[in-house]
Amino acid sequence: MTEKGSAFLDLMGGEVFRDGSQGVKIRLTIEPHHTNPRGVMHGGVVASLLDEAAALAIKELLGLRPQDSGPHLLVEMNVSFLAAARPGDTLEAEASVLRMGRRVAFAEAQVHRGKTLIAKGRFTFVMQHD
């Protein structure tokens, strides 16, 4: 079952889905327009998938739907790019919340191609409550 994510995820061609395990995941098949000058996946694609997955994990914990607006605002992200991906590869991103405080939340996210870890990210969000 797929769900709607952000406009930018939609632009990239990513889809939000649940596979029966806990939480939501993102799937994206790499196409030629996702590449950098060297012909491999652009680092911005990976960073975008990781950030979207982290945001979804926070919303899930708050009982919000993927398409809902959330109180989280990204202030810092750290990404390690561990392996390349090329057109035709299908990637999956998932994330978990490390700690959710009233003012700050921490999350981590991974992108895999099959069993290969492609990238890992750590995120700090400020929480804006009305």
Partner 1 sequence: MTENLSQLGIKGEAARSPFSGFIGNVLEERRPGYSRLSLKIEARHLDSSGRLHPGVLATMMDSALGAALRDVRRKDEEGIPGGTVAMDMMVLQVVREGEELVAEGRLLRRHGALAFGEAEVKKRGDGTLVACAYFVFAIGRGSPR
- By the criterion CB under 8 A, which residues form the site for partner 1? 5-11, 32-38, 40, 42-45, 47-49, 51-52, 55, 66-70, 73-81, 84
Two tokens, residue 98: 């490390």
Minimal distance, residue 99 CB to partner 1, in Å: 19
CA-based nearest residue to 76, from 47, 44, 101, 113: 47
How crowded is residue 40: how many other Cβ atoms within 10 Å of its Cβ? 16
Read off φ and ψ for residue 80, nearest 5 degrees.
-105, 125
Closest approach, Cβ 14 to partner 1, in A, equals 10
Q: What does residue 51 show for φ and ψ, rounded to 5 degrees?
A: -65, -45
Residue closer to partner 1 by CB (options 73, 104) is 73
Q: Which residue, 40 or 61, has its beta carbon nearer to partner 1?
A: 40
Least Å distance between CB 31 and partner 1? 9
**Intra-chain end-to-end CA distance of the chain, in Å:** 32
Minimum distance of partner 1 from residue 2's CB (angstroms): 15
Nearer to partner 1, 20 or 69 (CB): 69
CB-based contacts of 80: which residues, under 8 Å, 6+ apart?
Answer: 119, 120, 121
By beta-carbon proximity to partner 1, the closer residue of 66 and 89 is: 66
